[in-house]
Chains A and B, each alone.
Chain A
Amino acid sequence: MISQDEAIELFKFAPKESFELLLRNIEIRKILEDLWEKHQSGAIRYDESFEKIYEEFSKFFYRPIEISVFGIRQLNYLFPFVDLMRILESQNEFLDTYCEFLSSFFSHLKLLSEIYFTSTTSEPVKSVLDRFLDHYADLIKSCSSEFMKADLLHEYPLILPKKVFEYLENAINSWRNFSEFFRSYRDLRKQAFVTAAERFIEIANSKKFSNFFDFLNTFLNEEVKEFENLLSSKKYVEIQKNMVESLMDYLYYFRRFYEGIAENNPLNPFATVSQMDEAFKRIFDLKRRINELEKKLDSIEKGVQK
């Protein structure tokens, strides 16, 4: 129906969403054509073919959830967590020991060579840049004093304000709520799909469709009817509302948690989006005041001209 090369070309020119939906519909078409063949030679039944159609039909709508899950995985690598801190600390000890070993091994070799040659070699003349780099390296080395090695990092929950942990707790609770509502939401939609598919199977098994397009349209019409009933039902609207709200709470609280970590790091050189948001709010308030003043000036000028 459409080759791989053609699909790649199509991706260049079609909107991303149209491209995805078209590819999914090509899969749906193949499955329906197989079902059509089965229908011509006998009865059809609800089997994995319908499950595959449902999967292709639904995936597009579950994108926000994929983004949320992916988002937290990304952030987990950027922000220090207890487990990660412990790994870093144990690795750090290992690296320090290795550095100490290399340093003493180097001193040992240097001393040995001096004894062997009975004289020390003269220092090579260094360029200004090399001297600067040596000086800079010494400066950085002097930073890692004993004081900096306090092994407290994995206790960082005690460093952060309590509010930050409330955000984390709220985020986890919201995700838990979301998971429950999402499961009910998914079940309702699936149930609607299955009910319509079974009704379609009953129709298909009780008569012979004259052509594939009648077969296809009857299937779609049954699904349309069932989904129309579902989407405005009280139960669906309630579950959808709870699902969206708990997902939004999860996104908000988790972001505030990460922002809390960043905002409480005195070395953090970046403003958080909430801080930026407050700044944008103030800019808009100022813009409105300027507009009002300009209008007043304009009307005063017009009054003077009259």
Chain B
Amino acid sequence: MIAEKIKNIKPGFCDYEVVHEDWIFKLLHYRGNPNYRTPVLICYAFINRPVILDLHEDVSVIKKMLEAGLDVWMIDWGYPSFADRHLKISDYIDYLDFCVDFVRKERKVDKLTLHGYCLGSTLAVIYSALYPEKIKNLIIQTPPINFDTKNTLAIWAKSIDPKKISRALFNATGDLLNIAFLLVDPVRLIVGKYQSLINSFDDEKSVKDFFFMDHWIFDSPSVAGDVFEEYIVRWYHRNEIMNNQYDVKGMPVDINKIDMPVLVLAAEKDHITPPESVIPFFEKIPSKDKKMLLSEKGHIGLSVSKTSHTKIWPEAIRWIIERS
């Protein structure tokens, strides 16, 4: 029975403790035995849940980092409810700043490694441009920085009026976002994927892997209404970050200030944030120590595929360690 195979599935493998909470935001610290002085703070996206980086033992990026001796911290942006509709992107940057200061103080270091994931990369880039003195290394994974791309999701995002959505629903709900993400590639995601599952009903590992992933995919927090409006209008419609027009509470975000070592992790088959979402940024920043690792997988495959865990992550972790 399939139910038997999946009944104990719960994404998340590594142990952590919640070291700080501010309403829905949390700072997590993963338990480990760090050998390196510079801590790594992961700034996850405000869409979906951070557990994709620690989905299960075999494909846990966090586990790999801990085993390599890194000191890993993570920001969990939580589940915005109706009451959180008026959160703004500046609130996310403020909490990121709080966490950076918290970890620096805790570990008695001036700078740390900031690792952004997807839209968390956008926050990480904004933050690094605002406070370059606090960031030793910047890692951005499947990052949307240049929003002027031709992929279907970007075309759709550029066409919608987000104010109408937040006015009606208050937040861009998880269900709405799920439908949008599935609609981008409906035949593969609605039919192809499940037909493959049917083919492998007898293979326990495949069934488990499938449901680990689906648990993550459909565990979708809402995006706070004001955040949704700002990110669609200022990032997608106007591409303000790449055009050096973006600001946080009046503080200009100048990507020419990104001069720290930068590692970009991008995926060739990424239909959400294709490599063009970062290449112009990568070429533009003045950092002299910058590198891009390109996975042959897609947006999620970069975190959870076996190929990425054999080829990309060992190299990425080595890069971090050499600068820690």
Contact = CB atoms under 8 A, between A and B. Distances in A.
Interface in B181-239: 182-188, 190-192, 194-195, 197-199, 201, 211, 214-215, 217-219
Interface string B40-81: 000000000000000000000000000000000000000000
A227 B165 CA distance: 25
Contacts of B87: 284
Nearest to A280: B83
Nearest to A17: B218
Interface residues of B, number: 55
B82 A276 contact: yes
A1 B198 contact: yes
B218 A13 contact: no
Given A64-B179, A249-B164, A14 B211 contact: yes
Contacts of B156: 237, 240
B20 interface: no
Given A231-B183, A251-B168, A280-B85, 7 more contacts: A9-B1, A22-B198, A25-B195, A61-B182, A220-B188, A237-B155, A280-B82
A12 interface: yes
> Which DSSP category, helix, strand, loop or mixed, fits chain B's interface?
helix
A63 interface: yes
A31 B182 CA distance: 23
Interface string B1-43: 1111011010000000000000000000000000000000000
A244 B164 CA distance: 9
Contacts of A223: 187, 191
A183 interface: no
Interface in A1-51: 1-2, 6, 9-10, 12-18, 21-22, 24-26, 28-29
A14 B218 CA distance: 10
Given A231-B183, A240-B159, A288-B91, A245 B164 contact: yes
25 contacts: A13-B9, A14-B6, A15-B211, A17-B218, A21-B190, A28-B191, A57-B190, A57-B191, A61-B183, A63-B175, A63-B179, A220-B187, A220-B195, A224-B187, A224-B188, A227-B186, A227-B187, A247-B168, A248-B164, A248-B167, A249-B164, A252-B168, A277-B170, A284-B88, A291-B94
A250 B2 CA distance: 41
